[in-house]
A and B are shown apart, each in its own frame.
Chain A
Amino acid sequence: MINGNALQGLTLMLIFLLVAMVVAANLGAMSLSVRALWQAPLSDLIWQIWLNIRLPRVLLAVAIGMALAVSGAVMQGVFRNPLADPGLLGISSGAGLAVALAIVIPLALPPQLALWLPMIAAFIGSLLVTLLIFSFSRLAEGNLSRLLLVGIAINALCGAAVGVLSWLSDDQQLRQLSLWGMGSLSQAQWPALLICLLLILPALLLLQSRARHLNLLQAGEEDAHYMGIDVKRTQHQLLVLSALLVGTAVSVSGVIGFVGLVVPHVMRFCLGSDHRWLLPGSALAGAILLLLADTLARTLVVPAEMPVGLLTSLIGGPWFLWLILRQQRGFE
């Protein structure tokens, strides 16, 4: 059944995102207006800045925003839990621990591999935590509070381990570590961006193709089975794909909190619970949110730059509190 309202909403968001991308690419330490670009020859410095600094930055914000929001939507769907989010469940901190290990423990690696080591480490870390959470959630039969407790425990554990590693690290490693934890898109360069897109885009498309199955999982594992779904396989595919999204995002940008939690909630409110619309809606809204946050982060305190993860947490934290309070009232 085609949902006209949802289609309209998605179109509006897409138009807004495209406009925001153009505007964001022009803003920064040096303003690059469309007119100036139009008049300058391609070899000009402002084109160099636009092509090699602004454009990859904007594209990276869009890709990471999509990845975080969609992985949040998928996790909430798989766990059938509105509070499931890559950050709360400890997936980001698992990735963080793996990255910290990669930064602090000296490994003699060929330079090509060393360049990608944090990314690989983050992915392995997020995958391990995802599987851990998943097996716990099966044991607890999706018990909401138990699942969150497990997430809290994993967060604390990974946090402590990262603490130990920071204590062991030298000054330069320490700076690298703490900046990573705040989340930033300042690493935006074409090679990293291309790898990111290469991982994120197929994962998004594959998840979209599983949207109907994700809808059926909402009826519960047993009913989904009766309606012809291979439940375990679908759950594992969905979780591995969303861990791929989180792992990729976290390895390029560090920890950027709350996008994965907040965006799917707002989208559920606007578009309904049908994942065929919810997933693209979350992708667009996540891209818009992170693009706006990142543009603020790099223009608020020019010529310096705020870590965008701090900004999203500053906005997301109060929102999350409001969410909890609202739910509390719902139970009474």
Chain B
Amino acid sequence: MMEMLEATGLCLARDGKTVIDNLDVTLSGGERVALIGPNGAGKSTLLRLLTGFLAPDRGECRLGDRVLSAWPREQLARRRAVMRQQNNLTFTQSAQSVVAMGRAPWPEKQTSQIVAEVMQLTGCDSLAYRDYRQLSGGEQQRVQLARVLAQLWQEGRPRGWLFLDEPTSALDLFWQQQTLRLLRQLTRTGDLTVCTVLHDLNLASLWADRILLLHAGRLVAQGSPQTVMTEKTLTRWYQADLQVVSQAESGKPHIQLRV
């Protein structure tokens, strides 16, 4: 049984402006959670609070029996990995060595084997010796995904908490599908929880167990895709003229913009 990640009463203000407003959220083991919301809703900030990069002004975020800040850094890094939207490197570095960075919290013994394994999973084994900075945006994203998987890798699969900020934004259709399928397959055993910011509501609807809809720093709706992705809810919080239909194949909500 996996421990829970539980945030209660999170509040954060920046420059006198409230960014996260009294927010409660619980992530349980093996869940696939998509975080959605309009621009500037505070999605990335919430991710930073849930991962312990930022400390909330009020409230707390607990992983298992301890608040995040009470975890020893290395112990936390072994069970929580984060992939951000942008990663820039200044100096030449092979894609392989970028992935190997993810093994930093672990003993070096199995590094090369695990690096090879995750690079194959994410389809970047052919990029291993290329300079990371010369890769395309989509290739960089796949290398970063391999890095965070390597960070959580333990006894043959990733275990723990994986936070992703728009992991598919630069991927083509094929790799969007591959990546989301991979993430779903990895969560099946219940050892990995994935919480990801997704802008594409249809992908979120197809992939996630649970959707969190964030607006102006507050969680305004959460639940299964069917309960959150309704015309009424989405129109209200996105202020967009849209239509929600039921997808023929999966029965999941499908969102169409009226242009």
| Partner-B contacts on A (CB < 8 A) | 1, 80-82, 212, 215-216, 218-220, 222-223, 225-230, 268, 272-274
Contacts and interface: CB of A to CB of B under 8 A. Distances in A.
A81 B91 CA distance: 8
Given A81-B90, A218-B89, A273-B92, A223 B104 contact: no
B73 A229 contact: yes
B111 A227 contact: no
B92 A216 contact: no
B77 A227 contact: yes
30 contacts: A1-B108, A1-B111, A80-B91, A216-B101, A218-B89, A218-B90, A218-B93, A219-B98, A220-B87, A220-B88, A222-B53, A223-B82, A223-B84, A225-B53, A226-B80, A226-B82, A227-B102, A227-B104, A227-B105, A227-B151, A228-B73, A228-B76, A229-B73, A268-B91, A268-B92, A272-B92, A272-B93, A273-B91, A273-B92, A273-B97
A1 B73 contact: no
Contacts of B105: 227-228
Interface of B: 51, 53, 73-74, 76-78, 80-82, 84, 87-94, 97-98, 100-102, 104-105, 108, 111-112, 151
A327 B74 CA distance: 38
The 3 lowest CB-CB distance pairs between A and B, nearest first, are A228-B77, A273-B91, A80-B90
A253 B93 CA distance: 35
Given A229-B104, A272-B94, 18 more contacts: A80-B90, A80-B91, A82-B90, A216-B104, A218-B93, A223-B87, A226-B51, A226-B80, A227-B101, A227-B105, A228-B73, A228-B74, A228-B76, A228-B105, A229-B73, A268-B91, A272-B92, A273-B91
A215 B98 CA distance: 10
Question: Which interface residue of A80, A82, A218, A223 has the most chain B CB atoms within 10 A?
Answer: A223
B164 to A, nearest CB: 12
B159 to A, nearest CB: 16
Nearest to B80: A226
A268 B76 CA distance: 32
Contact of A226 (B53, B89, B93, B108): B53
Contacts of A230: 73
A218 to B, nearest CB: 6
B44 to A, nearest CB: 11
